[in-house]
């Protein structure tokens, strides 16, 4: 009875994955939400187990990424690879004979009999890149503003140190200059951080 129910649940989950529009890839929690939406009485752990069995049986395939595994149907068709956004998880299928040939060549060099190849290319989609660039530019502007403020403080402290020095209050002059040096070092650190952010913008735009 339990075995029959497990088979029924597994078939239902397989149907959910097979019914996905081409190019759609879901995480196990997303499959779980779809199962619940159609009235399937399952737990998340059951969904994970079912997907694991379906993968072992060659019925579904997984796509990697730092946001977790995503599942797609393993129906017959041309082999394809994936572009996976590390920001939003967008997964784009594509086919490229050059990459396919590369997989076969590497297998032969390593003494493997080539059966199939699949590549998951990780990066950032154009939308995430634009958002990330806007964030970096905004943060670098804040850092430059902080640098200017600290340089102004440094200038005032140095003027004060000079006044103390002319008045022969050397101890006070030394301590004030020491504080000015700390502010200057902070300004240099902030400026370097801002420049690092800008260099990342320049790299992503090349």
Whether residues 67 and 83 fall in one domain? no
Query: Same domain for 9 and 72?
Result: yes
Q: Give the number of other CB atoms < 10 A from CB of residue 205.
A: 8
Same domain, 86 and 26: no
Q: Which of 64, 88, 123 is the last residue of a domain?
A: 123
Residue 73's region, left for phi above 0, alpha for psi from -120 to 50, else beta, is beta
Same structural domain, 141 and 177: yes
Structure tokens at 5: 């129910």
**Alpha carbons 120 and 29: distance in angstroms, whole number:** 21
User: Contact, 130 vs 181, CB < 8 A?
Assistant: no
Beta carbons of 68 and 77 less than 8 angstroms apart: no
Domain count, the chain: 3
Verify that 118 and 143 share a domain, yes or no.
no
Domain boundary among 39, 61, 76: 76
Cα distances (angstroms) measured from residue 58 to each of 14, 79, 190: 11, 14, 53
Cβ–Cβ under 8 Å, residues 79 and 118: yes
Tokens representing 140?
A: 């670098």
- Residue 49 is classified by DSSP as H
CB atoms < 10 A from the CB of 77, how many?
8
Q: In what order do the strands lie in the sheet with 81-85?
A: 91-94, 81-85, 120-123
Q: Do 90 and 101 belong to one domain?
A: yes
> What's 68's domain CATH number?
1.10.10.10
Taking Cα atoms as reference points, which of 15, 17, 7, 1 lies closest to residue 46?
A: 7
Q: Do 97 and 164 share a structural domain?
A: no
Q: Are residues 90 and 59 in the same domain?
A: no
Q: Are both 142 and 180 inside the same structural domain?
A: yes
Domain harbouring 95, CATH code: 3.30.1490.190
pTM of structure: 0.42
> Do 105 and 151 belong to one domain?
no
Same-domain status, 117 and 158? no
Same domain, 87 and 118: yes
pLDDT tens across the length of the chain (206 residues): 556 677 788 888 888 887 776 666 778 888 888 888 888 888 888 888 888 888 777 777 777 655 567 777 766 556 677 787 777 777 777 777 777 678 788 888 888 887 766 777 877 788 887 777 787 888 899 999 999 999 999 999 999 999 999 999 999 999 999 999 999 999 999 999 899 888 866 655 55
Residues spanned by the domain of 68: 1-76
């Amino acid at each position: 009875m339990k075995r029959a129910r497990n088979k029924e649940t597994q078939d239902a989950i397989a149907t959910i994955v097979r019914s996905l529009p081409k190019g759609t890839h879901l995480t196990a929690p997303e499959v779980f939400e779809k199962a619940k939406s159609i009235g399937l009485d399952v737990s998340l752990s059951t969904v994970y187990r079912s997907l694991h069995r379906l993968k072992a049986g060659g019925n579904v395939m997984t796509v990697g990424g730092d946001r977790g595994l995503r599942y797609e149907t393993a129906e017959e068709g041309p082999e394809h690879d994936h572009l996976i956004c590390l920001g939003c998880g967008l997964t784009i299928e594509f086919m490229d004979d050059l990459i396919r040939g590369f997989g076969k060549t590497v297998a032969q060099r390593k003494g493997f009999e080539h059966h199939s190849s699949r590549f998951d290319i990780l990066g950032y989609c154009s939308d995430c890149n634009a958002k990330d660039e806007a964030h970096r530019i905004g943060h670098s502007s804040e850092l430059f503003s902080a640098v200017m403020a600290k340089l102004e403080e440094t200038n005032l402290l140095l003027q004060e140190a000079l006044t103390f020095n002319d008045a022969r209050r050397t101890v006070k002059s030394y301590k004030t200059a020491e504080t000015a040096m700390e502010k200057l070092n902070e300004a240099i650190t902030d400026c370097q951080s801002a420049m690092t952010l800008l260099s990342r913008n320049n790299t992503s735009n090349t």
